[in-house]
Amino acid sequence: MVSPPELPPEPRREPILTLPGALTAYIGLLAIVHVVWSALPPDLEYWTIETFGFIPKRYDPSLLTATFPGGGGAKVWTFVTYSLLHANLSHIGFNVLWLLPFGSAVARRFGAFRFFLFMAVTAVAGAAAHLVTHEHSIAPMIGASASVSGAMAAAIRFAFVRGSFLSFRGNDADAAAQVPALSLMRALQNPRVLAFLAIWFGINIIFGMGSVAVGAESGSVAWQAHIGGFMAGLVLFSLFDPVPRPPRDAASASSGGADRVP
């Protein structure tokens, strides 16, 4: 009696709602930093903000380096470290809420190393935008919103493509994260992407007129940093994307043309 040949094992399908390890580690890092910072006495708490928060006035050439804690080194590391600090639970919770759908898609596509590097680069872009628009401000900026905005921008480069996260087809997260992305030109011709951009910029401008609690004080929302991180994520996405673009898309981009978006 001949037994039937064994069928190859069915590939594992990762549910859409499962968080990738890189995003879990990133959220865990934010939580640990917040818990440790919140446990500090008030004098060390504010010293931490001044040392690791982003303060535009720190870059005023007329001031001595020793004016702010951290010296010359803080002029470098605060471009990233500010994004790890949050004012309160609602601040960190709001950022994590947006990270769950968009950060999950990007982390699954980029992998851990690219994802963490991408979040750092978009944090730098957000700090740079804040520095340009708040040149003499002494108020420290903290929060991961610029990086979160960058992740949102990166996600829309592929999330609307058929078979991906926002196309409402299938539930395999790994497959959804590997669909070829739209070129920047094609993305800016996609009606759904354009609608997302209009809503995102509108919300940021509206909320930029409000305020957010920073410790026991009130500070304005750094919406310019959000835009800086978002634009960096949108434009620099291709430098981090490990998934090759289809040949016709590359040819269209090089010739200046654009195919219709499916």
Mean pLDDT computed over 230-250: 84
Nearest to 74 by CA among 35, 45, 48, 92: 48
Query: Residue 172 has what pLDDT?
Result: 67
Burial class (CB in 10 A: 0-12, 13-18, 19+), 222: buried
- In the chain, where are the structural domains located? 21-243
Q: Rounded mean pLDDT of the chain? A: 81
Q: Please check the confidence at residue 10 and state whether its pLDDT lies above 50.
A: no
- Structural tokens at position 10: 């069915």
Which residues face 219 on adjacent strands? Answer: 212
Give dist(CA 243, CA 109) in Å, integer: 8
Query: Residue 69 has what pLDDT?
Result: 85
Mean pLDDT computed over 120-140: 93
Task: Count Cβ atoms below 10 Å from residue 48 Cβ, excluding itself.
Answer: 19
- For residue 210, the 8-state DSSP code is S
Burial class (CB in 10 A: 0-12, 13-18, 19+), 210: exposed
Percentage of the chain lying above the pLDDT 90 cut:
52
Nearest to 95 by CA among 148, 139, 156: 148
Q: How confident is the model at residue 244 (pLDDT cuts 50, 70, 90)?
A: confident
pLDDT digit string, tens, across residues 218-237: 456 778 899 999 999 999 99
Query: Residue 208 has what pLDDT?
Result: 64
Q: Please check the confidence at residue 179 and state whether its pLDDT lies above 80.
A: yes
**Straight-line distance from the first to the last Cα atom of the chain, in angstroms, rounded to the nearest whole number:** 51
pLDDT digit string, tens, across residues 48-80: 999 999 999 998 887 765 678 888 889 999 999
119 vs 42 pLDDT, higher one: 119
Q: How confident is the model at residue 245 (pLDDT cuts 50, 70, 90)?
A: confident
CATH of domain 21-243: 1.20.1540.10
Q: Which of 144-158, 190-204, 218-232 has the lowest mean pLDDT?
A: 218-232
Residue 190: helix, strand or coil by DSSP? coil
